[in-house]
Structure 1
């Protein structure tokens, strides 16, 4: 076994032993098109039990990206999402996935095989996160492979961190998301607003989706409407919760 394979095997064992500390919560992505609200998907969000949704979880993910164990974490998350969606054929989940996992030599191939085995291809999409910095050429190749296999990829937090904004022009990417940080900045900065208006125009021209995250107030919702952003997410609509606490949404109700 090569050193890299050995390191990944070790990481998988560490994640497996720590998995009892992990849980997933889900938050709906809401369409506000034509003045009507409807759920188009749910984003899965990793939680480390005992740490909550704040800096503790962020620090865990940062450490996992720095030591390479994030690939094993993302594999675990995918396995949980597949198990959830198998029993809920109306459910669509957007899965946060590190750039390091997308760039990994076997992650995409293994993910596709697992989704095919679970018969959930088409129900699971990927949000490529911006908190790590992977090689853009390798990412572009992996994204092309995912496009060929009809796997949908969104760019997460496209104005933050190590977001590969240039990849948004690729036919392999379905769209992008703007973070809570950007939502706040939009209310405070004309420069940010002008940049986002231009981004919206590009997405519209290319037929790509754009989601405004972190909406918590009526003013922020009005901002999305003013910018002609019709996909939204945030506490204003629903806080992240376990599937058992989201049964008001028909997509979350198991079938059979």
Structure 2
């Protein structure tokens, strides 16, 4: 696993660390996902959860831990969550600090089943998020069916937004919808100060991206102090 921070500029704190899949020698997530199929998807999903929780406990993460999960790997939420609960208990990591992100790396085959998963997770005290919103399979259709605590805007919406009125209008619309649904919005993929200034001006406070820190392999990334400065 590698960990990348999600920053809250309103409070000038780290809101969460996202656990990102890596190979044993820091190979990319893309390289790992090439080996995932129907025969190993469930075990892979479970292994990622337990590994992320174990490392988070070892690194003494004091904030939220964000873990991606594969919706099609969760057959019965009650059974699948058992391993997560056991890992959290064994390693002393509070379940109320865990966020489950619905990843868009594969098409969701059963929205009713996914809704059941999200509702079950939230009832057990976990936070939930839609990852990469605005790209792939994570769009308005998914949001109309599944309500989560957080919505993470895909970096395709963020890239160059300071010079793109269309992207700005889209993000404004998403923020209005998210507000009515009581969901927090995270802008991921921030690479420049200009992007950050524009997004702050639109009302976003939670950010993730290389501008703050690249993912750190098996450790927590260090953020330069000047990155916490509110620029608007």
Q: TM-score, normalised by structure 1?
A: 0.75
Structure 2 counterpart of 1:21: none
Kindly report the root-mean-square deviation, in angstroms, between the aligned alpha carbons of the 2 structures.
2.6
Distance 1:108 1:166, change over 3 A: farther
1:81 to 25, 32, 52: 52
Higher share in helix: 1
C-alpha distance in 1 between matches for 2:145 and 2:12? 29
Matches within 5 A, 1:128-207: 128-134=102-108, 135-163=110-138, 165-168=140-143, 173-184=148-159, 186-187=161-162, 189-207=164-182
Q: Contact conserved, 1:143 with 1:173, CA < 8 A, in 2?
A: yes
Aligned residues: 219
Q: CA deviation at 1:165?
A: 3.8
| Secondary structure at 1:163 match in 2 | coil
Structure 1 counterpart of 2:64: 92
Distance 1:48 1:138, change over 3 A: same
Q: TM-score, normalised by structure 2?
A: 0.82
1:112 corresponds to 2:89: no
2:19 to 44, 56, 59: 44
Q: Contact conserved, 2:131 with 2:153, CA < 8 A, in 1?
A: yes
Gaps of 5+ in 2: 225-232
Q: Contact conserved, 1:176 with 1:209, CA < 8 A, in 2?
A: yes
| Secondary structure at 2:197 match in 1 | helix
| Secondary structure at 1:162 match in 2 | coil
Gaps of 5+ in 1: 1-23, 250-256
Structure 2 counterpart of 1:28: 5
Distance 1:244 1:115, change over 3 A: closer
C-alpha distance in 1 between matches for 2:163 and 2:48? 36
1:210 corresponds to 2:188: no
Distance 1:247 1:239, change over 3 A: closer
Q: CA deviation at 1:153?
A: 0.7
| Secondary structure at 1:141 match in 2 | helix
Q: CA deviation at 1:237?
A: 0.8
C-alpha distance in 2 between matches for 1:183 and 1:89? 27
Q: Contact conserved, 2:4 with 2:216, CA < 8 A, in 1?
A: yes
C-alpha distance in 2 between matches for 1:248 and 1:183? 20
Distance 1:233 1:89, change over 3 A: closer
Q: CA deviation at 1:37?
A: 2.4
